[in-house]
Structure 1
Amino acid sequence: MTATRTILPLAAAAACLLWLLAARQLPLPGWPLDPEGMSLGQIRMGFGLMPRGVIALLAGAALGLSGAILQVVLRNPVADPTTLGISSGAQLALVMATIFAPDLLAGGRWPIAMTGGLAAAGLVLTIGARRAFAPVTMVIAGMLVGLTASAVATAVTLAQGQYLLSLVIWNGGSLVQQDWSGVRNLSAVLALGGAAAGALARPLRVLSLGAEGAAGLGLNVALVRLAVAVLAVAVAASVSAELGLIAFVGLAAPALTRSMGARGIGPLLLWSPLVGALVLSICDGLVLAVEGSGGEMFPTGALTGLVGGPLLIWLLPRLRGSTPPGTETAEGTAPRLSCPGRLLAVVGLGLITAAALLLWIGRVPGGWAVLDPGSMAAFLPMRLPRLVAAAASGAALALAGAMLQRLTANPLASPEVLGVSGGASLGFAAVTFAVAAPSGLMLTSGTMAGGALALALLLAFTARRDMPAERVLLAGIAVSAFASAVLSATMAVGDARSWAILTWLSGATSTVSLAGALSLAALAVAIWLGGLATSRWLSVLPLGPSVSGGLGVNLRLARLVLIIMAGTATGAATVITGPLSFVGLMAPHLSRRVGLVRPADHLTGSALIGAGLMLVADFGARMAGFPYELPLGLFATLIGAPWLIWLMTRRPG
């Protein structure tokens, strides 16, 4: 603990210095605080900056405590309220209550946030219990649940424009305060949480021996895990209710505490809240210093989001080896069609028929109508590009998902968690904020550059370490989480650029040109042909690295080529239609479950099914809110989320 005693005072001094730097121009108010006799500067200091500084310490301590508790009980060094989906669940519950049931907020935001956080945690822990709480399994499940909740919250927020500014700013994790009520609330939560954690320290020490050993000593393992999970969720949800989504502090604090020499459960629970308080205080001090010079609000969640992704990737090699949920064997034996060509022909014909019907039918002010030839000719230049783009993007995402699922032997693999979509989103946002009036070419270039950079970083990280396939997937999830946190905070600026980014993130094909749609279709065909050329790899890789290597497969080359193809397909679809969700997860499963098991048949069926799913999503986005167009990403998410939940809660074997 020598390093801890040295570093903590230095960090505390840095936090105080940054806070004083931001507040140096404001006079210190007298006590007691009475706004009647205070100047405007004193009011801002006494009821704004001072409670903000205190609440940064309290919130950081609460998140550090929550993360430490979760890491101890799950024996998982990358568990925290963000990676397990708790914060995103609380965020979604508060967004839905704000928009659809504002009367529920009369009793305060804490019960709603607690409900959402418990629901998300309950789902993740249910999955984990069925897979022996394997670390990789828990994090993959938690991050996917979190991404699902965040996607739904973003889409619903965009669909309710009158709530856009307040919800986006809140979701960014701003520590702006107007009085001392938040300090009082979090002080009570931290005091009660710390006392409860102290009471649970001894059972946690027994549980650290392992579930079987703890049960042999008479410990009720299930009850202890439940009590600890409820405590961690309650503490983290309280912070979300008070301040919004502040990511990864609960991951950083215990990791930094261990790196500074803390060993054992007691020191970890004691020092993690202190380190978390300093981490968030330093981040907020930097935000205040920038705000003082630029005068523009920028939420503290931006900097905490920047910490999380790189830290999670750094911690990946420390994870114990484990099998991800739902390997090919655990999912059971799928039926194998003797003549798959007939089914593929039927699916292809059905896709063409559906596309033709969607061209002819639509809604008018008087109801549904079938277009006459004259109207069809007028609407064809507008409808044809978006239909082609929707089908091509669905096919590209489905091909990417099929390749990734076979590469990792993991049915939870999908292009949305590879990190390419997240990187492309950051590229789009960077161009939007850097250029006053960016052209379509500039946005396209920035989007592709962001996706390529994310893929390059992922490949560089995994290639040097020869990581197992499931770790590659988890590294991609870390990149996606990093991008999601940064985008959420960036959009909290709340101006027209935030609206442009949020609109694009939700997914829309209305602005696609025919040339762009045809280009995406050509790329999807090229990826399909490339997948057919690698059929032998795709048939052998699900058997595991030892078997694949024994059969002469160059594992490093195979992984590199397949990830590049999957990343290219995902990046191209993202450029045209935004980072759509879950088509790359569902289509390969549906293809396999109907009997298309061989690699060539699986790829072809996945592409056709993915194209059909995206046509359905595009049609729903256009027609459900007529005459206004709703977010395409909302419909893709509503199709994919139930499938994802069903898939993850299945018992293996």
Structure 2
Amino acid sequence: MSRSIRIWLPLAALLAFGLWWLAAIRQLPMADWPALPFRPDGMSLQQILMAFGLMPRGVIALLAGAALGLSGAILQAVLRNPVADPTTLGISSGAQLALVLATIVAPGLLEAGRWPVAMVGAGLAAGLVLLIGAQRAFAPVTMVIAGMLVGMTASAIATAVTLAQGQYLLSLVIWNGGALVQQDWSGVRSLALVLVLGGLGAASLARPLRVLSLGAEGAAGLGMNVAFVRLAAAALAVWIAACVSAELGLIAFVGLAAPALVRTMGARGIGQLLALSPLVGALILSVCDGLVLTLAGATGEMFPTGALTGLIGGPLLIWLLPRLRGSTPPGTERAEGPAPRLARPRRILLGLLMLLIAAALVLVWIGRVPGGWAVLDWSSFNAFLPMRLPRLIAAASAGAALALAGALLQRLTANPLASPEVLGVSGGASLGYAAVTFALTAPTAMALGVGAMIGAALSLALIAAFVSRRDMPAERVLLAGIAVSAMASAVLSAIMATGSTQAWMILNWLSGSSSAIGMGGALPLLALTLSVWGIAMTSRRWLATLPLGADVAGGLGLPLRLARLSLIGLAGIATGAATMLVGPLSFVGLMAPHLARRIGLARAADHVTGAALIGAILMLAADFGARMAGFPYELPLGLFASLIGAPWLIWLMMRSRT
């Protein structure tokens, strides 16, 4: 054991205990603490709160942190990936989505407990990510991008479904944030059993994982069944993480931080990693919970502990990026093969424009009434047009703006997986929106829009500055953006769990809705989208040259710094304006540029224009689904946009190399 471990672990343990002790004596003087055995009939109210609330909370923080640390260590060892953990691989979000859907749609499934439901959700998410990874030899960047995008999709759907069910809203929001509040010792007993069984399983896998660390080919040459070991280790890690999610909710990045810190402190070998990661994970979560309790004592606000761990994981993921082995992510130009190039793209662009106009007319003319579907007559059409036209304009404009931002970012980074959602631009817009809601007593729509635009542009500028200084491959930009999104989600989760007026305002915006927008909001959004498109057209030389690489672009006389900053700002403005309507996650910015490229719109001007038209069509379809699927109630627009985007994203990442 290294000297760093011998020094830092006792100090962390002392800090964790000190923070809990301060919270305990603030609640009840030490002389009045209850003694074993705890008998509620002989205790005061404060003693009951101590014995069945604060004490089990302190213990369960240690157990959950240890379990997540062990799960992360197993995943990192079996995948040989330093940024793998239940959060980055989408496991925790899969469990979260399954539990939310069961709570709202089929509560009878929870009669046997939450654990089986969480296992199904976590298993499906992990299976999907591993299936994608298997086609790419489990490349580290590929696995993390696939996992975190699957996780983002699951979280978005869970949030939208939660918003649609007001009676469950507050409890699900707090649970989704990873609250450690306890009412008895049952959770402690359950997670203690999970940790013991998980530890025994990890001990039995230590030697096979040590052999697997030599590489899949080397391990197979020594007679190991590599597929079985990978499956067994992944199943164990998924089971551990799902149990924690079922008991406490979504607690992010502890499984990433614990093994990373163990390695940083000098641990060597699989054995030390598996042995020390649970200990470090326990201390991380315990210190975080102690900070939450201290903050609650000072301010009176109790934040979910899981939100605070996200603030740790985002910077840690960025710090680990330079240490990742290089690999080509799925969806790159080489992986997809050469895209078709139309000789006469104007016919396609004209066809897309006509399709957009026809779709708008059809969606205005048909709808649902209490008796079923109906086609409006002329008088009804004239009556409904003033109500439907603004939201159709706004939805199409938002979709076009997101598609423009995605096309700009994909050409800027030369990576077809870039999009406002993936690069953290939408997360930055969310933080900008949240900042304005707290800074102003009665924020106007204009102020909220400006805040979202500034937040989007700043987040993208920070990512670009970080990556450009380190000369990283293009896929590192994606991971940096995902880290920013994780930090934004953590901050928003903490805000929403307070239950303040601003929290409800932010929570409602996160799902996206065009129901309240009028012509006064729709026309400015349309004007801004057309302006962004016009500027992009004047920058088509930059957009055509940047994908060739910095050396080629510089050799052709392109002002690289000006071009990058201008395109970053333009993408940030477009994203900030669009997210005001659709929320921070829709995947339109990822899908539309891809579709435009695959139908042959390869030239810069054609690509950008085609992406904008396709994005407008996709968002019109999402808006129609949001209005009609839950008639007479309107469902969140962001949910339908994500449901359109998720199958496309999964299909895209599962495509094999050509």
Q: Which residue of 1 aligns with 2:410?
A: 405
2:646 is aligned with 1:641: yes
Q: Which residue of 1 aligns with 2:540?
A: 535
d(CA) in 1 for partners of 2:483, 2:55: 34
Deviation at 1:366, TM superposition (A): 4.7
d(CA) in 2 for partners of 1:426, 1:16: 33
d(CA) in 1 for partners of 2:155, 2:125: 12
Task: Identify which of 73, 77, 86 aligns with 1:72.
Answer: 77
1:394-473 correspondence to structure 2 within 5 Å: 394-433=399-438, 435-473=440-478
1:611-633 C-alpha deviation (Å, 9 max, x unpaired)? 01111111221222223211001
Task: Identify which of 241, 252, 255 aligns with 1:250.
Answer: 255
Does the CA contact (< 8 Å) of 1:392 and 1:521 recur in 2?
yes
Does the CA contact (< 8 Å) of 1:168 and 1:494 recur in 2?
no
Q: Which residue of 1 aligns with 2:6?
A: 5
d(CA) in 1 for partners of 2:178, 2:585: 24
CA 1:244–1:415 in structure 2 vs 1: closer, same or farther (change >3 Å)? same
2:313 is aligned with 1:312: no
Does the CA contact (< 8 Å) of 1:621 and 1:631 recur in 2?
yes
Does the CA contact (< 8 Å) of 1:98 and 1:105 recur in 2?
yes
Does the CA contact (< 8 Å) of 2:457 and 2:568 recur in 1?
no
Q: Which residue of 1 aligns with 2:497?
A: 492
Q: Which consecutive unaligned segments of at least 5 residues does structure 1 have? A: none
CA 1:430–1:549 in structure 2 vs 1: closer, same or farther (change >3 Å)? closer
1:338-370 C-alpha deviation (Å, 9 max, x unpaired)? 322112112111212222333344344454455
Does the CA contact (< 8 Å) of 1:170 and 1:492 recur in 2?
no
Q: Which amino acid aligns with 2:632?
A: P
Q: Which amino acid aligns with 1:122?
A: G
1:559-598 correspondence to structure 2 within 5 Å: 559-598=564-603
Q: Which residue of 2 aligns with 1:324?
A: 329
1:487-546 C-alpha deviation (Å, 9 max, x unpaired)? 223212245443322211111122334243222222222322333334344445445566
TM-score normalised over the length of structure 2: 0.94
Does the CA contact (< 8 Å) of 2:295 and 2:302 recur in 1?
no
2:270 is aligned with 1:265: yes
Query: SS at 1:330's partner residue?
Result: helix
CA 1:401–1:533 in structure 2 vs 1: closer, same or farther (change >3 Å)? same
d(CA) in 1 for partners of 2:443, 2:633: 25
Q: Which residue of 2 aligns with 1:218?
A: 223
Does the CA contact (< 8 Å) of 2:174 and 2:497 recur in 1?
yes
d(CA) in 1 for partners of 2:638, 2:406: 17
d(CA) in 2 for partners of 1:448, 1:545: 27
2:91 is aligned with 1:91: no
Q: Which amino acid aligns with 1:9?
A: P
Q: Which amino acid aligns with 2:16?
A: A
1:287-320 C-alpha deviation (Å, 9 max, x unpaired)? 1122223333321112111111111111111111
Deviation at 1:442, TM superposition (A): 3.7
d(CA) in 1 for partners of 2:140, 2:562: 27
More off after superposition, 131-140 vs 520-529? 520-529
Q: Which residue of 2 aligns with 1:348?
A: 353
d(CA) in 2 for partners of 1:72, 1:219: 16
1:34-113 correspondence to structure 2 within 5 Å: 34-113=39-118
Does the CA contact (< 8 Å) of 1:171 and 1:489 recur in 2?
no
2:184 is aligned with 1:183: no
Deviation at 1:95, TM superposition (A): 0.8
Does the CA contact (< 8 Å) of 2:592 and 2:614 recur in 1?
yes
2:495 is aligned with 1:476: no
1:132-211 correspondence to structure 2 within 5 Å: 132-211=137-216
Query: SS at 1:362's partner residue?
Result: strand
Q: Which residue of 2 aligns with 1:31?
A: 36
Q: Which amino acid aligns with 2:631?
A: F
Query: SS at 2:367's partner residue?
Result: strand
Does the CA contact (< 8 Å) of 2:544 and 2:604 recur in 1?
yes
2:511 is aligned with 1:510: no
1:80-126 C-alpha deviation (Å, 9 max, x unpaired)? 11111111011011111111111111111111111111111111111
d(CA) in 2 for partners of 1:193, 1:208: 20
d(CA) in 2 for partners of 1:87, 1:167: 15
More off after superposition, 2-11 vs 50-59? 2-11
2:10 is aligned with 1:15: no
CA 1:51–1:95 in structure 2 vs 1: closer, same or farther (change >3 Å)? same
More off after superposition, 409-418 vs 4-13? 409-418
1:586-630 C-alpha deviation (Å, 9 max, x unpaired)? 112222222222222221111111101111111221222223211
2:283 is aligned with 1:282: no
d(CA) in 1 for partners of 2:371, 2:235: 52
Query: SS at 1:417's partner residue?
Result: coil
Deviation at 1:244, TM superposition (A): 0.1
d(CA) in 1 for partners of 2:633, 2:112: 34
d(CA) in 1 for partners of 2:344, 2:295: 65
Q: Which amino acid aligns with 1:6?
A: I
Does the CA contact (< 8 Å) of 2:397 and 2:525 recur in 1?
yes
Query: SS at 1:597's partner residue?
Result: coil
CA 1:186–1:304 in structure 2 vs 1: closer, same or farther (change >3 Å)? same
Give the number of aligned pairs: 653
Does the CA contact (< 8 Å) of 2:454 and 2:576 recur in 1?
no
Q: Which residue of 2 aligns with 1:299?
A: 304
d(CA) in 2 for partners of 1:481, 1:107: 32
Deviation at 1:267, TM superposition (A): 1.6
Query: SS at 1:416's partner residue?
Result: coil
d(CA) in 2 for partners of 1:650, 1:557: 36
Query: SS at 1:402's partner residue?
Result: helix
More off after superposition, 46-55 vs 293-302? 293-302
More off after superposition, 241-250 vs 431-440? 431-440
1:123-134 correspondence to structure 2 within 5 Å: 123-134=128-139
Does the CA contact (< 8 Å) of 1:169 and 1:494 recur in 2?
no
CA 1:116–1:367 in structure 2 vs 1: closer, same or farther (change >3 Å)? closer
CA 1:544–1:453 in structure 2 vs 1: closer, same or farther (change >3 Å)? closer
Deviation at 1:371, TM superposition (A): 4.8
d(CA) in 2 for partners of 1:549, 1:211: 42
Identity of aligned residues (%): 75
Deviation at 1:47, TM superposition (A): 0.5
d(CA) in 1 for partners of 2:433, 2:541: 36
Q: Which amino acid aligns with 2:14?
A: A
More off after superposition, 404-413 vs 242-251? 404-413
Q: Which amino acid aligns with 1:280?
A: L
